[in-house]
Amino acid sequence: MEDDKSHAISDVDDNPVNRDKYLSITDKTDMSFLEHLEDLRGTLIRCLVTLFIACFFVMGFLKYFASLLNWPLQIALDENVEEGLITTSPMAVFSVILQVSFLGGFALSLPFILYFVARFVAPGLTKKGIECSQTWLFSRIYFICHWRLIQLLCSSPSFP
């Protein structure tokens, strides 16, 4: 039985076209199910630690992040107006602090989380899958940059 498996693998390895089709880009050795679970657990722990660090960072500089979030309101109302956002209950203040900290931390940690997830998924991808993901990523970045450029051009005072 073992000879059949090694013979089938050697047939695939002899042909370079088939070998590239079935091997991942990192060429990791086969892992058992429990090893995959351990790798997944490590990835999730890294993602959560990154999220918590970013949330605490945002919470530490909450005054600056809150002024950044109030900036469009100050422009819309008037620069002379001292009032900003108000809350109507004591728990609303606490809720706003938690929401700003979590969402700001999530926004700051998202590139790292995506990197950790991509590093976990990459060994299972074939070359074609990696090429497709690179094309998709480039097209999204291109689209977002052009969308932002159009927003800036349309919001300029000289735009009719």
The helix or strand, by DSSP H or E, that contains position 30, with its residue range, turns out to be none
Please, are residues 12 and 18 in contact by the beta-carbon 8 Å criterion? Answer: yes
Which residue reads 């100050």 in tokens?
74
Tokens of 51: 């999220």
Please, are residues 100 and 85 in contact by the beta-carbon 8 Å criterion? Answer: no
Mean per-residue pLDDT, 69-82? 71
Mean per-residue pLDDT, 73-98? 77
Please, are residues 91 and 100 in contact by the beta-carbon 8 Å criterion? Answer: no
Residue with more model confidence, 154 or 96: 96
pLDDT (tens digit per residue) in 19-57: 444 443 444 567 888 988 999 999 999 999 999 999 999
Which residue reads 């001292």 in tokens?
82
Give the CA distances from residue 16 to residues 11, 13, 20, 30, 52, in Å, rounded to whole numbers and listed in that order. 10, 7, 6, 19, 45
Helices 90-121 and 33-60: crossing angle, nearest 10°?
Answer: 140
Q: What is the DSSP letter of 80?
A: T
Query: What residue segments make up the domains of the chain, in order of their start?
Result: 32-124, 126-160
pLDDT (tens digit per residue) in 88-113: 888 988 998 999 999 999 999 999 99
